[in-house]
Chain A
Amino acid sequence: MPSIDAYSQRTLRSFTVRRRVDAPWIDGFVVTASGKVPRVQTALDFRDCLGSVKARWDIGRMNYRVPPGLYAAGNPGIGSTVLVSANYKMSFDRLRSVLPGRDAWILVLDTDGVNVWCSAGKGTFGTDEIVRRVQESGLERVVSHRTLVVPQLGAPGVSAHEVQRRCGFRVEYGPVQAEDLPAFLDSGMKASPDMRRVRFRLRDRAVLIPVELVMGAKYAVLLALAFLLLGGVSGGGYSLAGVRTIGLKSAAVVLGAFLAGAVLGPILLPWLPGRAFSAKGAALGLVLVAGIGAWDIFRNGGVASWLHAAAWMAITPALTSFVVMNFTGASTFTSLSGVRREMRFALPLQVAAAAIGFGFWLGGLFAA
């Protein structure tokens, strides 16, 4: 009769295996000297794509993880390449989607469900975790060579010479984009200078918009709501008519400024003037407020309140400047020193413009 310990050990093991097999993107096993390794499909299906869309919109993103450990793509053997990945499902999916027709091992690190670059910056995608996973998976018995292909964007967290010293595996940095991986592997692990550069193309920026919207929406809506309600205030007491006219319009401008910053900011980034993101955002806000003013004059034949016009000329650029400035974190080329420098002048200006503008706006309520 097996002891309790052996029994619970076995259930535990079968549980771990079951947890992995459960995933729809697993289609079998490859037997190795270190045990059975789950094999992943290399074609993405509808569920994977739906998952990416949801993750882009920040829905259940934190649950979008792959259990860490070793996986097989195709029918890898002792000579097959070992590719290292993060356990953010989107990073993992991007990797396996470029592997059809190839035999490779994929070593998934535990990065708390965060993608390669971000987790490398935090250090969770790093030397310690690579060494731990290599040892835990018994990789030295699975393959006869001693090379790991680590995505280049993981390099801020990984020290190649440390990894080699601690577990005997040499780190070869692969290309920035997973799409270039086949070319990199076929050329005997040589990356062209182009494959080593991180880009921030229109499509790279566009996919970030949903998360920008989701993250900022709460604050934008609260601010718009405040303007909506305050719109009813006037010298003669509180009026619903004020809410419907001034309040509604002010709320619309606030939401418009937020949308401009969160959607047009990323799209128009290279063409907005200045290098500081806050300057780019302010420019966007000035264009927006000019547009709103022109539209107002065209529709109503004049400006209803010069105080309110002045107010929006200050508040709108302050808002868009702030929103676009916060896009620095999503960009692929801003430095911490640079962000600090730009914030030192931008933040006080934004606050001052917003405060002065709000003063004008309140004044406009009582002057009407």
Chain B
Amino acid sequence: MRYLEDAVTLEFIPERCDGCGMCVKVCPHAVFGMENKRAALADRGACMECGACAKNCEREAIRVKAGVGCATAVLAGLMAGKEPSCGCSGESSTCG
């Protein structure tokens, strides 16, 4: 299953990458792959903006506006006039 592909805030700056492979390990959607000992975007459209790659890239070669893709949270945020924040308490919401 795939979601809307063109709404992704993920940015990768290859010049900073030292090829540690961390982003490949942490991404749950195989967005990054290794090419010639460096990371490369293999499937940018699959990014769900969880933020794991950016958080674990020591070289700061990845930028993403991390958040939870949850309509309920966005709606609650809209009504409260705030940024959406996940109010989930357990198995619901992006919870595996």
Contact = CB atoms under 8 A, between A and B. Distances in A.
Interface string B66-96: 1111111111000000001110111111111
A328 B26 contact: no
Interface string B13-48: 000000000101111111000000000000000111
Contact of B89 (A114, A173, A340): A114
A64 B90 CA distance: 10
A212 B5 CA distance: 26
Contacts of A338: 3-4, 7-8, 69
Given A116-B96, A333-B2, A161 B49 contact: no
Contacts of B4: 275-276, 335, 338, 341-342
Interface in B48-64: 48-52, 55-56, 58
B43 to A, nearest CB: 11
Given A156-B52, A158-B55, A198-B28, A211 B92 contact: yes
B94 A55 contact: no
Contacts of A198: 28-29, 96
Contacts of A156: 50-52, 55, 66
Interface stretch (A75-83, A189-197, A230-238, A355-363): A189-197
B96 A333 contact: no
B74 A340 contact: yes
Q: Is the interface of A mostly helix, strand, loop or mixed?
A: helix
A115 B56 contact: no
Given A118-B86, A118-B93, A155-B56, A333 B26 contact: no
Interface of B: 1-5, 7-9, 22, 24-30, 46-52, 55-56, 58, 65-75, 84-86, 88-96
Given A153-B28, A275-B4, 18 more contacts: A62-B90, A117-B94, A117-B95, A156-B51, A157-B55, A161-B56, A173-B25, A176-B96, A208-B92, A215-B92, A329-B71, A332-B94, A332-B96, A333-B1, A334-B94, A337-B67, A340-B74, A347-B75
